[in-house]
Structure 1
Amino acid sequence: MFTKEPPNLSVVPVYPMREQVMFPHMVLPLFVAREGMEIIDAALQGDQLLVLAACLEGKEPCPWEGLSRIGTVCRINQVLRFPEGGGKVVVEGLQRARLLGAAQRFPCILARIETVSEVDSRGLVTEALVQSVNALLKIALAYGRPLPGDVVKMIDQIEDSGRLADLVAVYLNLGMKEQQHLLELLDPLERLKEVYLLLTGEVQKLQVRGEVQSEVAKRLGRTQKEYLLREQMKQIQEELGDEDPRQSEINELHRRIRQAEMPEGVRAVAEKELARLERINPSSPEHTVARTYLEYLCTVPWNRGTEDHLDIGRAEVILDEDHYDLAEVKERILEYLAVRSLRKTTKGPILCFVGPPGVGKTSLGRSIARAMGRKFIRISLGGMKDEAEIRGHRRTYIGALPGRIIQEICRAESSNPVFMLDEVDKIGQDFRGDPASALLEILDPEQNDTFTDHYLDVPFDLSRVMFITTANILDPVPPPLKDRMEVIRLAGYSDEEKLKIAFRYLIPKEVEENGLEAAGVSFEEGAMRKIIKDYTREAGVRGVERQIASICRKIARDVAQKRPPRLLVTPAAVEEMLGPRKFFSDVASEEDRIGVVTGLAWTEAGGDIIFVEASRMVGKKDLHLTGSLGEVMQESARTALSYVRAHAVEFAIEADFFEKSDLHIHVPSGAIPKDGPSAGITIATALISLLSQRPARRNVALTGELTLSGRILPIGGIKEKVLAARRAGVTTVLLPERNRENLRDLDEETRAQMTIIFVDTLQEVVEATLLPGRPNRAMGDFAGRGAVPGSAAL
């Protein structure tokens, strides 16, 4: 019991202890880090007092909630500061204290405390316990328990039961929680009883150890010292229930196999491999291979997965929040959730999002995972050439690993994630195998429930995984792989859709990423229309996002340099910050010309307009094709010429126009390869325009394939092509009659602003595209003039 209370203990600094508990009357050197010196300095500014309390959490720094509520008030006796920061502080424990509340939490904790006074109750029980503890200490010393000599003398002189219990507790081999428990026992008699029980257990362990040593010595003799030490360790581990490291590793693998919830067949393989591992010498390379294999088997989430959120209304809200439009994709996901709500065992669909870059294919996968409450995995297949990256390496190879599919599922710790395979159209192939063929089993709902990775060599059920693949075009994808996927096409966005996406998603995102939330940056609608029309030409919105980011960075620089920023982005400010316009797309305002027809093409980046030019010169019935045309477009050009020659009279063209002439068909931008089955009527119309001297309307764009019999075949990419025509200022588009059903792919605003004409014959195309003919005085004297007036080159 203290005769004098420590002064000024209402509010003191608190120093958290992580490895040891401080008891009263204990002198302890503390090695304090640089951050902890703030607490020491706070104590030195007062009465040189602080509270040492145990930190029960692993957070750094220790929060107020992680501190024990019983600590020890200590006095700082000595401080030695180190040059590199931090220092050594010697503290002396004074008295227990109860932490009532935090007066300050930062930069160091100041606590309101009250000291706990102890009264030593003298009696027969107390005296008996004191004598018993002293006797046990002497027994422990006899068995070799290390204890400083001055401590032994001090213990013999102490009669206070609480102080004796604290002193013995310091030198017992106790853990942090046991020490804190003793500190929190405020009754000295109860604390001495607890110390007596702990000391009794310690003496019993020392006795067993002595018996083990004696038994081993009798068994082996004095000359076998090395073997003696091993046997001694073995006996100790048997008595204490411990195991050697190798056996501990085997037991740990046993436990993990039991807890991994493996299928019966897989568990049998794992136990067989574990029995084999026990027989392998640890120094053998085969030991590491077998152990790594078993660890992978235990890591695979055989039956661990997330629970699907089957609230269709919530999923619809999430999809609408993350993406604008994309009605077909959202409808498909909601249908899947509806079926899952009715039947729990539905296999995961294999969706394939096909569309140009920047339309939101990859980000849509993340939204699907969020809407379903599943984990999201994404890997890129672009440039992948090794089949082992999909199916894994066989264990006979050094450094073998499972394939990317199993690796990512193990990393996600879920057997039913949303798994996105990006760029499936860009898979390579070489002597190491064909990854596309390896995907056939993975992306087949009827087979992937028994997918076998080469490394694991046991089946794993992939049917619960929702696979999503993405591609820009489907042509490079092998037909068997294409047959296993449900293709959903994501066409490009119209200018109005881009405008809404920009204001709803892109502008807030870039303003936040460039630190301009507080500045109040805003964009005028005219400014965004200028960015979309004059600075980008794309089907998606990636380029629009880059231009918005460029403007935001320039505004951020003005803010950082304390210059007046342009917080309202106007069309004039756009041109000032982004420079001159990059695209001139209003082709409809140009002059109507003979032999030049506006066509529509589909590319990996969406729709685009092309100009087909035809020219005629004196020659010997040759057809010249330039502009990096592929085989399909070259065949379309020859088919168009044959059809025009066969029906020359119907188009008011001389029947023998090709006898002494050469024709040249050119598609500009010759460095860019062009191909596809949709330029037949465009080439034929350019030839008719040239040969009949009828100018072609520049505000009319064509697309469709022509046969020798005059039929106009349907084509694909209708939405992309119509949007490209609209961006270019074209008001009228001619489409094959059989594509009439594709009109529903267009939004209402596009259908209202564009004139769509469906044609079934080339005569209809000519009448809608070509203007009335000019006086054709060149046809009669062509041989003498060498060229037809009006033959055009753009």
Structure 2
Amino acid sequence: MTEIKIEKDKLIPCVPTRDLVVFEDMTVNFEVARGFTISAVKKAMNGDGFVFLIAQRSVAVEEPEKKDLYKYGILGEVRQVIKSPSGVYRCLVHGISKGKLLDLVKVRDNCLYASIKLVNIGREKVSEVELTALMRQVSEAFENYLEVIPRIPKELYYDVASAETPKELFEAIAYNIPLPTDDKQIMLDLNTYGERLAYLLSTLSHEIEVSMLEREIHEHVSSTIDNQQREYFIREQIRALHNELGDGGDVDESDEAQQYLAKIGELSASDEVKDKLTAEAKRLVKMPSGTQEAVVIRNYLDTCLALPWSETTEDRRDIKKAESILEKDHYGMKKVKERVLENLAVRMMTPDIKGQVICLYGPPGVGKTSVGRSIARALDRKYVRVSLGGVRDESDIRGHRKTYVGAMPGRIIDAMKQAGTKNPVILLDEIDKMSNDFRGDPSSAMLEVLDGEQNSGFRDHFIELPFDLSEVLFITTANSLDTVAPPLLDRMEVIELASYTREEKFNIAKLHLIPKQLKKHGLKPSQMRISADAIYSLIDFYTKEAGVRKLERSIASLCRKAVKQLLENEDDKKIVFKASNLEEYLGHKKYLPDLASEKDEVGLVNGLAWTSVGGVLMPLEVLVLEGKGKVELTGSLGDVMKESGQIAVSYCRSVCDKYGIAPDFYEKKDLHIHAPEGAVPKDGPSAGVTMVTAMVSALSGIPVRKDIAMTGEITLHGKVLPIGGLREKLMAAYKAKIKTVIIPAKNKGDLDEVDDVVKNGLEIIFADNLATVLENALVKVNKPAKPVRSAKKRKEAVLTAN
């Protein structure tokens, strides 16, 4: 054995092996496929060639730590590494010396390194006579081993017979026969060849006993199968004779059929169901057990008998308990929880109510699926989720006729089988993602499932029997209602889950996401903390979404970086993430904040817009140019916004005198209206008041207040009409530090849904008409401006007024 020395504190690339133990002077050929093991062998090949091989205690562990590895391994020399076309690397390694694992380190290059202490083979503890006797016993045991396991090559016997030292004998046997990994590891741990031979002797004796027992069992099973085959042929001959005689129907029912009939008799189902199943069980008696038709009947009977024809669970009738469950599982969602609790209260008051289907509608990531699970918990019912995304075959809902090869019941009956009760909560996820093709329309099949007047006798094509779905509470989820068939939508009570506000995301992260991720990553609250300003920064600058999925992924990323830092630097006891150091861990900010006007400007107004990921501040600019009355709109504006621009021009013509605008501006001036971020499509009527204010300001020269934002639809006569998305729009204004917001007076009732923090931080002006909007939005002048004809005189008038 080659003697080598390892420098103190030197780290050697480490390869944890699965089902492989290597000894000194042993050359092995094995494959590595995990990323960190590939990195280790590459590091060894590019360095001094040394690699530390150590066996895992469990082969199931993908990313082993020190506790998952044995105490001793082998320092080896990598002699060859070949990459296969499949991406797996085949390595040839020669074992050099036994080593004790002191520490295991994983560094940034995704490679495991081991700190080891080399251990030399010790002096023998027994005399040469005892050692010679032990060698003879091992050789004799090996001869017996070859008799019961003839697969061992005969050449190995000559190597064993010619061995002169304990080392040669041990290597000839242990290196070449298949032994359990645990036994090989015990032999490696032993420090003399005498001890290793003694343990090898006991292992060989055990393997001989096991092999002899296996042979006896195999012989017994073979004889049993032969008897069964003989009995089968005799039974088939008897069946054929009875068929020839014409009295096949009088044959006694087999044990299998009797078992099915007994189960059918115990079934609490209607007579129609029992008669149908009994007829199928009797058909099973008349056909050979190995035929395809017999397999179909068995599958049919097993499926039908597994269905909950009468099993039910008792609903929880404590509305306060249900409310506490919903509050515990989800933050906010006041309106959603109220509607859910009302629905549950009605069910508790009238348990026999039928046909209530709830549709949870909202953008991705807002918690629709988890709300459905919470409803099941609140009612104390079984919960089953059925994914409908991408379903385009009607048979997925109704099942296949059992005569087809590979037939199975539909997803609804399969869900009932999973639930095990007649009254579970079934969540039909992504119902808007269903589509249709030549195989049928699954939406049409869902009409019967969700109709309380029809689903009491739902017939699946596979079971061909009426099954009662009327006691099931169906909950559907959808991101968009546009793709849901109108007849299907008509059967559902739609509950909208709006996008989360900034404050809601903050509280969800603080109360739910951070504790969840800390537990998932094995961290304690005392080891990592994310400050409040850091959570707000994650929401504002690193995520832009309606829900909280990206926010949770960002928090998970911080947890991973904290774990890595704690392991690399033992002096660090706690990692604190603040807004000031987030860029160090997550990189530069991905999203910039909405910027309001920095000063009072002419023709520039802060508008408010709604998006699927929340409200945003949308500045609107108007520029007046010499021309012929052309109105140009840019910024990827939709048709509705373009119409609002035309309405704004007409309204400005009607108030020319009041604001000192030239009456003929629509003939001699060109107006250019622009909404920044031109790559983002924008549409909707709520920018009407913003366009009018910007246009009046640009034409009159009166600046618009920098600290004000607005939203509202307009009419030709100057009325301000209500808009949607007020909750999100006010949150955007609050986040951009706007002081005053103008909203339609008819939206006053929608303020109930707005967070108190937002309402208290804003001055809200209610406007019935555009006069109120302009009066509050334009900078106050000392005296009313007079109508002027020329641009020069109009400018002088504005300067005088200011």
- Determine whether 1:719 maps to 2:727: yes
- Determine whether 1:481 maps to 2:491: no
- Determine whether 1:517 maps to 2:504: no
**Among 401, 413, 416, the residue aligned to 2:420:** 413
Judged with a 3 Å threshold, the aligned counterparts in structure 2 of structure 1 residues 673 and 34 are, in CA distance, closer, same or farther, namely same
Match of 1:295 in 2: 302
| Cα distance, 1:554 vs structure 2 | 0.8
- Determine whether 1:605 maps to 2:640: no
Deviation digits for residues 518-538 of structure 1, max 9, x if unmatched?
Answer: 862223333323333333344
| Cα distance, 1:433 vs structure 2 | 4.2
Deviation digits for residues 104-137 of structure 1, max 9, x if unmatched?
Answer: xxxxxxxxxxxxxxxxxxxxxxxxxxxxxxxxxx
Judged with a 3 Å threshold, the aligned counterparts in structure 2 of structure 1 residues 700 and 477 are, in CA distance, closer, same or farther, namely farther
State how 1:4-43 maps to structure 2 within 5 Å: none
User: Matched residue of 2:623: which SS?
Assistant: strand
User: Matched residue of 2:487: which SS?
Assistant: helix
CA distance in 1, matches of 2:464, 2:694: 62
| Cα distance, 1:35 vs structure 2 | 9.6
Judged with a 3 Å threshold, the aligned counterparts in structure 2 of structure 1 residues 745 and 519 are, in CA distance, closer, same or farther, namely closer
| Cα distance, 1:744 vs structure 2 | 0.8
**Among 529, 534, 538, the residue aligned to 1:527:** 534
| Cα distance, 1:229 vs structure 2 | 9.3
State how 1:372-391 maps to structure 2 within 5 Å: 372-391=379-398
Match of 1:498 in 2: 505
**Among 207, 214, 220, the residue aligned to 1:87:** 207
- Determine whether 1:265 maps to 2:385: no
Count of paired positions: 589
Answer with 393-402 or 517-526: which moved more. Answer: 393-402
| Cα distance, 1:396 vs structure 2 | 6.2
CA distance in 2, matches of 1:454, 1:648: 73
Deviation digits for residues 400-425 of structure 1, max 9, x if unmatched?
Answer: 43332222222232332222223334
User: Matched residue of 2:622: which SS?
Assistant: strand
- Determine whether 1:771 maps to 2:779: yes
| Cα distance, 1:745 vs structure 2 | 0.9
**Among 585, 605, 610, the residue aligned to 2:593:** 585
- Determine whether 1:569 maps to 2:691: no
CA distance in 1, matches of 2:656, 2:405: 72
CA distance in 2, matches of 1:394, 1:599: 59
Match of 1:671 in 2: 679
Deviation digits for residues 644-697 of structure 1, max 9, x if unmatched?
Answer: 444544554333222244433333333333333423323333332322233333
Q: Is the 8 A contact 1:355 1:604 kept in 2?
A: no
Answer with 375-384 or 757-766: which moved more. Answer: 375-384
Judged with a 3 Å threshold, the aligned counterparts in structure 2 of structure 1 residues 592 and 302 are, in CA distance, closer, same or farther, namely farther
| Cα distance, 1:617 vs structure 2 | 3.5
CA distance in 2, matches of 1:226, 1:439: 49
Match of 1:742 in 2: 750
Judged with a 3 Å threshold, the aligned counterparts in structure 2 of structure 1 residues 333 and 777 are, in CA distance, closer, same or farther, namely closer
2:578 counterpart letter in structure 1: T
- Determine whether 1:685 maps to 2:688: no
State how 1:92-107 maps to structure 2 within 5 Å: none
State how 1:422-501 maps to structure 2 within 5 Å: 422-501=429-508
| Cα distance, 1:714 vs structure 2 | 2.0
Q: Which runs of 5+ in 1 are unaligned?
A: 1-29, 42-77, 92-172, 174-208, 217-224, 236-242
Q: Is the 8 A contact 1:492 1:723 kept in 2?
A: no
| Cα distance, 1:559 vs structure 2 | 1.9
Scaled by the length of structure 2, the TM-score of the pair is: 0.64
CA distance in 2, matches of 1:331, 1:256: 45
Judged with a 3 Å threshold, the aligned counterparts in structure 2 of structure 1 residues 617 and 554 are, in CA distance, closer, same or farther, namely same
Judged with a 3 Å threshold, the aligned counterparts in structure 2 of structure 1 residues 411 and 226 are, in CA distance, closer, same or farther, namely closer
Q: Is the 8 A contact 2:603 2:698 kept in 1?
A: yes
**Among 312, 317, 339, the residue aligned to 1:332:** 339
Judged with a 3 Å threshold, the aligned counterparts in structure 2 of structure 1 residues 759 and 232 are, in CA distance, closer, same or farther, namely closer
User: Matched residue of 2:409: which SS?
Assistant: coil
CA distance in 1, matches of 2:616, 2:685: 15
| Cα distance, 1:550 vs structure 2 | 1.6
User: Matched residue of 2:317: which SS?
Assistant: coil
1:543 counterpart letter in structure 2: K
CA distance in 2, matches of 1:228, 1:489: 65
User: Matched residue of 1:687: which SS?
Assistant: helix
Q: Is the 8 A contact 1:452 1:460 kept in 2?
A: yes
Scaled by the length of structure 1, the TM-score of the pair is: 0.64
Q: Is the 8 A contact 1:614 1:666 kept in 2?
A: yes
User: Matched residue of 2:596: which SS?
Assistant: helix
| Cα distance, 1:758 vs structure 2 | 1.7
State how 1:82-161 maps to structure 2 within 5 Å: 82=204, 87-89=207-209
Judged with a 3 Å threshold, the aligned counterparts in structure 2 of structure 1 residues 398 and 782 are, in CA distance, closer, same or farther, namely farther
Q: Is the 8 A contact 2:389 2:434 kept in 1?
A: yes
Match of 2:378 in 1: 371
Judged with a 3 Å threshold, the aligned counterparts in structure 2 of structure 1 residues 356 and 766 are, in CA distance, closer, same or farther, namely farther
Instruction: Please report the RMSD computed on the Cα atoms of aligned residues, expressed in angstroms.
Output: 4.6
Answer with 415-424 or 290-299: which moved more. Answer: 290-299
Q: Is the 8 A contact 1:491 1:719 kept in 2?
A: no
Q: Is the 8 A contact 1:558 1:564 kept in 2?
A: no
Deviation digits for residues 683-741 of structure 1, max 9, x if unmatched?
Answer: 33333232223333343232222233433322222212222222232332222222111
Answer with 334-343 or 711-720: which moved more. Answer: 334-343
Q: Is the 8 A contact 1:689 1:770 kept in 2?
A: yes
Q: Is the 8 A contact 2:660 2:785 kept in 1?
A: no
User: Matched residue of 1:614: which SS?
Assistant: strand
- Determine whether 1:309 maps to 2:316: yes
Judged with a 3 Å threshold, the aligned counterparts in structure 2 of structure 1 residues 431 and 591 are, in CA distance, closer, same or farther, namely farther
Judged with a 3 Å threshold, the aligned counterparts in structure 2 of structure 1 residues 314 and 229 are, in CA distance, closer, same or farther, namely closer
**Larger Rg, first or second structure (1 or 2):** 1
Deviation digits for residues 187-229 of structure 1, max 9, x if unmatched?
Answer: xxxxxxxxxxxxxxxxxxxxxx9xxx9xx9xxxxxxxx97699
**Among 314, 327, 330, the residue aligned to 1:320:** 327
1:670 counterpart letter in structure 2: G
| Cα distance, 1:517 vs structure 2 | 2.3
Judged with a 3 Å threshold, the aligned counterparts in structure 2 of structure 1 residues 602 and 272 are, in CA distance, closer, same or farther, namely farther
Judged with a 3 Å threshold, the aligned counterparts in structure 2 of structure 1 residues 707 and 296 are, in CA distance, closer, same or farther, namely farther
User: Matched residue of 1:81: which SS?
Assistant: helix
Match of 2:15 in 1: none
Judged with a 3 Å threshold, the aligned counterparts in structure 2 of structure 1 residues 346 and 232 are, in CA distance, closer, same or farther, namely closer
Deviation digits for residues 466-496 of structure 1, max 9, x if unmatched?
Answer: 2222233444444433333222233344433
| Cα distance, 1:311 vs structure 2 | 2.8
1:765 counterpart letter in structure 2: V
CA distance in 1, matches of 2:480, 2:208: 69
Judged with a 3 Å threshold, the aligned counterparts in structure 2 of structure 1 residues 282 and 633 are, in CA distance, closer, same or farther, namely farther
Judged with a 3 Å threshold, the aligned counterparts in structure 2 of structure 1 residues 589 and 696 are, in CA distance, closer, same or farther, namely closer
Match of 1:653 in 2: 661
User: Matched residue of 1:679: which SS?
Assistant: helix
2:502 counterpart letter in structure 1: D
**Among 398, 403, 408, the residue aligned to 2:410:** 403
Judged with a 3 Å threshold, the aligned counterparts in structure 2 of structure 1 residues 628 and 447 are, in CA distance, closer, same or farther, namely farther
User: Matched residue of 1:467: which SS?
Assistant: strand
User: Matched residue of 2:665: which SS?
Assistant: coil
2:644 counterpart letter in structure 1: S
Answer with 286-295 or 377-386: which moved more. Answer: 286-295
- Determine whether 1:630 maps to 2:750: no
CA distance in 2, matches of 1:642, 1:635: 11
CA distance in 2, matches of 1:229, 1:278: 12
2:673 counterpart letter in structure 1: I
Q: Which runs of 5+ in 2 are unaligned?
A: 1-147, 150-177, 188-199, 212-219, 221-226, 243-249
| Cα distance, 1:274 vs structure 2 | 4.7
Judged with a 3 Å threshold, the aligned counterparts in structure 2 of structure 1 residues 719 and 87 are, in CA distance, closer, same or farther, namely same
1:717 counterpart letter in structure 2: G
CA distance in 2, matches of 1:232, 1:478: 55
